Amino acid sequence: MSMDQVDNARLRRAITAFGADSSEQNMVEVIRAALVGELLLDATGSEFDLRGGSAQSGSKIRIRSSVGPDGRRAMLAFTSNAEVARMHPEGTQHQSLARPAASVLEMAKKQGAGWLYLDPADKTVALSAKDIDFALRHLRNDRLSAAIAAGESGGSREAILEALRADGPILLAGEVRGGEQRTDQPRLRMSERADGTRALLVFTSAPEIAARNPQDGVISTTTKRLREQLRTSTLFAGLVVNPAGPFVEVTREEFLGS
């Protein structure tokens, strides 16, 4: 993908909202948005060998970073090339490197960065190492997240269903009492459908659960196990994926492929 085509508008909106109101809930919105789509790294000064359309062995890649308020290294990531350009004098050339947004958080954690600044040229949001650990602590279903995001911009519903049916991690939300997650048949979060039947709430990442109810516990499972359970039970007539939005409602028949 051309770097000019990277435009993580959803994350940029979340950053703007946090700038206006730095509430815990708005920070959760930033974190969950930072796991979807792509981000850019400022690679100005790098020497890319782009034969074949991607960086080849021998490329010299320099990623711009900064220093956080506590003196620890801070990575920088951007929602668009326009945001990268704002870090440089007007009219000067710059280079950027596109990466899946979740992989940027994983890179920050792997490299031991204390901070990840998002769109640092203006009203940045600084994700701490603790924030990044929260985002990455549980398995995610990045394929399903991407399909849902694509569906908002014209992608097909069938692509979402294919991602949901493919074997992969999926999270459920469980009731928490007294600060502890119930392990003796935890009460799963669900919703009532218009016809009076129930839909199970499922999530692609832990921040998606926190966006709906930060007090809920996280229950890890897989789409394969969920399919097996729904084949033998009629308790749920469907699923609602990422109910905090953008959400997708899927019938039991659609999920099971029957």
Nearest to 117 by CA among 45, 62, 43, 67: 67
pLDDT score recorded for residue 2: 45
Tokens of 157: 């519903």
Count CA atoms closer than 13 A to 166's CA, side-chain side. 13
Q: How far from 244 is each of 32, 155, 209, CA to CA, in Å?
A: 10, 20, 8
Q: What is the pLDDT of residues 173-228, one digit of tens each?
A: 998 765 444 445 568 999 998 888 999 999 999 999 999 999 999 999 999 999 99
How many CB atoms are located within 10 Å of the residue 252 CB? 19
Amino acid at 155: G
How many CB atoms are located within 10 Å of the residue 147 CB? 24
Nearest to 239 by CA among 187, 213, 204: 204
Structure-token match 């991690």, residue found? 169
